[in-house]
Structure 1
Amino acid sequence: MKEMGIVVLVSNTSWYLYNFRRGTIVALRGAGYRVVALAPLDKYSRYLVEELGIAHEPLPMEGKGTRLLGEGRSLLALFSLLRRLKPTLVFNFTVKANIYSGLACRALGIPYANNVSGLGTAFLHDSWLYRRVRSLYGVANRGARRVFFQNREDHALFLSHGLLRDTPTTVLPGSGMDTTRFTFSPLPDSVPFTFVMIARLLGDKGVREFVQAAGEVRVAHPNSRFLLIGPHGASNCTAISEAEVQRWQSAGVVEVLGEQGDVRPFIEKSHVLVLPSYREGMPRTVLEAAAMGRPAIVSDVPGCRQAVVAGRTGWLCEVKCADSLALCMKTCIAMPQEELQAAGKAARARIEEEFDERIVVEAALDCLHGGRSLDGEVTSDLR
């Protein structure tokens, strides 16, 4: 097949591209494009090359870095790599990639698209630095061929902050779900009742609220289990210290299992997924659990509340409130098995109807080919 050109994907981790953009990568290769990933080296970098058959170029970028020297190094590296590769289009993912790669592409005259998969720390906290970050985000977005969002509330926020102007936008159902990989499974018949949280160990993900709520629930239901899965030492200013994680492990309330290459076995052995995050784009772990027939308890914030239909495929708790989360957990434990199973089946059906990966892949290809068929369209009822 004749090579159609080069498409570059930029992210602050290779992990993100491998786990969340696999379907898009496969589709781009199938359409005849050479795909190059620009991301920091991690253990998933080799999977991009060996399993997905794309090129990988190491990118010096630290998620929580704010020192001018390091940030300037990231921007210059992107500028140099993109000038050498001369791609047909660049897809940027995660906040720093959207800003830095967007600015580099704009300076070089390379077409690009930004993907807002969540607002990140720059929107959850306010300071002189974060206000400057948001300003640069607007400059990067206004030069993009398209900006993709994962919920309407993020889209509305960017509009209200003047971070888009007349840039074409599309709201998509997250990064899409591969329903053949995440297949439905019935709820476990055996006790104990098991909750699972899958997230990077960050304060902004609500990890502390999960641990505190688990302690409250264990008082009334001492046999219940609480699994905490996610990488330590995440590059983020709200990352939870190793010492704090060790204290949780010593207390024995939650089972801290660290990062897992395949989360499906842990979802399968659980009854309910929990994500008390402070804000999300469209939380992938909630969608993965739903695809496997697991309802979720999530915080009532943008992104999370769009990931469930409250009372039908999951439940909402107050943000930053461990007591509210614990009450939801206790309600789930007391719920008849048939009612919980019905919520899981409804969650799976919604994934099939609204979150199929093909929607996201087709939008990427449409953008690549210069189409405007998705202008202003919201592809599902993501409120």
Structure 2
Amino acid sequence: MHHNKTIVLIGTTGASFYGFRADLIKRLVQDKHVVYAFTSEYTNQCLEKISALGARPVTYQLSRGGLNPFSDLMALRQLVQKLKQIKADIVFSYFAKPVIYGSIAAKWAKVPVVIGMLEGLGYTFTEQPNGQTLKTRIVRNVQLLLYRLALPQLDHMIFLNRDDQQDLLEQHHIHVAQSHILGGIGLDLSQYPYREAPIEPIRFLFIGRLLKEKGIFEFIDAIRLVKSQYPNAQFTVLGAIDHANMGALKQHVLDQLIDEKLFDYPGYVTDVQSWISASSVFVLPSYREGIPRSTQEAMAMGRPVITTDVPGCRETVVDGVNGFLIPKWDAQALAERMCFFIKNPEKVNQMGSESYKIALRSYDVRDVNEKLLGIMGVSD
């Protein structure tokens, strides 16, 4: 057993540590490692929740979306100083900017093991129906330049799906010592118990930020097509408007859709389990993902999935077995697949149980964490 390593996790939002890293942190602490959590967006409550997991929160300054090279260089300098003070044995960064600056800082601070994880390549690598804007292409080129500088500093690079590895490393000839495909960051399956789906009426559920690239506009168009044939079909949308994002659904449009009673909109919720439980079919017409957590949650609870044949989404569905893969940007194809479940309600739980089997096999956080501990070199 490798005891007493000092492990630094570098992320951005405080919520990402207790939302997505809680099981990993608890496992590392249980194994007697000292864990630091570096966060650049936080509240006091966030820091308390991180401390409650057994990690030591450290704050640093990094603008998640900003393109100011001077503030990014200041962040880099700050990270180097803090990592030297801590004398880290392992640095594990996730999300684009922490992977870039955290990895360079770790190398400069002479940290023995440097690991990066990208849970998706983000909007700059996402194809759009009308092509990418000039600004997006410029940002993508800057990002690629930074990846070329940062990724060769890594001992291990982790992706969730094979497409991301191919589209970043292979297509752009970026060398990394070792790269791994994780296949999803995993769930505590006990929190998402299997429940047979209600089928009278069939209720379709979308969970995600209300963004163009999550497929919200295709979902809305598809609802109209389905309702023209089956006016009693029911739809629920969960998720907040991301006002900072140019591709967000506008508030006044959302208000009109709610007035029109096109779908139920409870907004952003924390208890997704009860909403999945009340639904029949999960729908995510996204343009690109890492491996979407919402789909994993729906599958664990036994829901069939309709999603797009794009990186990250195609990994979650065996077409015709636990749901359907549809072409991206295609509201008509989405409507047809939703109508299939309305016409064949017996298929809901039949396909849902296949989703459940896949989730047990692929999305158990304990198995995922064992893989991560192995990559870190701290497994038994």
Using the size of structure 2 for normalisation, the TM-score is: 0.89
* Distance of aligned partners of 1:50 and 1:119 in 2 relative to their CA distance in 1, 3 Å threshold: same
- Corresponding position of 2:122: 120
Instruction: Identify which of 237, 249, 266 aligns with 1:257.
Output: 266
- In structure 2, what is the Cα distance between the partners aligned to 1:332 and 1:73? 54
- In structure 2, what is the Cα distance between the partners aligned to 1:302 and 1:74? 31
- Corresponding position of 1:37: 37
- In structure 2, what is the Cα distance between the partners aligned to 1:340 and 1:265? 18
- In structure 2, what is the Cα distance between the partners aligned to 1:285 and 1:7? 28
Q: 172-181 or 308-317, which moves further after superposition?
A: 172-181
Q: Which runs of 5+ in 1 are unaligned?
A: 374-383
Deviations 1:112-150 (A, max 9, x none): 211121010221245233112112113222111211111
Q: SS of the residue aligned with 1:214?
A: helix
- Corresponding position of 1:306: 315
What is the aligned-residue identity percentage?
28
Contact 1:230 1:259 in 2 (8 A): yes
Contact 2:154 2:176 in 1 (8 A): no
- Corresponding position of 2:366: 358
CA positional deviation for 1:332? 1.6
Contact 1:214 1:253 in 2 (8 A): yes
Q: SS of the residue aligned with 2:8?
A: strand
- In structure 2, what is the Cα distance between the partners aligned to 1:44 and 1:251? 38
Q: Which AA in structure 2 matches 1:86?
A: K
- Corresponding position of 1:142: 152
- In structure 2, what is the Cα distance between the partners aligned to 1:244 and 1:149? 36
The 5-angstrom pairing of residues 220-235 of structure 1 reads 220-233=229-242
Give RMSD over aligned pairs: 2.5
Q: Is the aligned partner of 1:175 residue 2:191?
A: no
- In structure 2, what is the Cα distance between the partners aligned to 1:43 and 1:276? 36
- In structure 1, what is the Cα distance between the partners aligned to 2:62 and 2:254? 25
CA positional deviation for 1:44? 6.8
- In structure 1, what is the Cα distance between the partners aligned to 2:3 and 2:88? 12
Q: SS of the residue aligned with 2:190?
A: coil
- Corresponding position of 2:98: 97
The 5-angstrom pairing of residues 191-206 of structure 1 reads 191-206=200-215
Deviations 1:21-45 (A, max 9, x none): 2221111111111222222115872
Deviations 1:161-211 (A, max 9, x none): 34542421111121022222211011115x332111111222211122112
CA positional deviation for 1:329? 1.2
CA positional deviation for 1:7? 1.5
Q: Which AA in structure 2 matches 1:242?
A: Q
- In structure 2, what is the Cα distance between the partners aligned to 1:219 and 1:102? 53
Which runs of at least 4 in structure 1 moved beyond 4 Å after TM superposition?
Answer: 234-237
Contact 1:106 1:140 in 2 (8 A): no
- Corresponding position of 1:66: 67
CA positional deviation for 1:288? 0.8
Q: Which runs of 5+ in 2 are unaligned?
A: 127-131
- Corresponding position of 2:129: none
Q: SS of the residue aligned with 1:113?
A: strand
Q: SS of the residue aligned with 2:315?
A: helix
Q: SS of the residue aligned with 1:155?
A: helix
Contact 2:296 2:316 in 1 (8 A): yes
CA positional deviation for 1:69? 4.8
- Corresponding position of 2:87: 86
Contact 1:63 1:235 in 2 (8 A): no
Q: SS of the residue aligned with 1:345?
A: helix
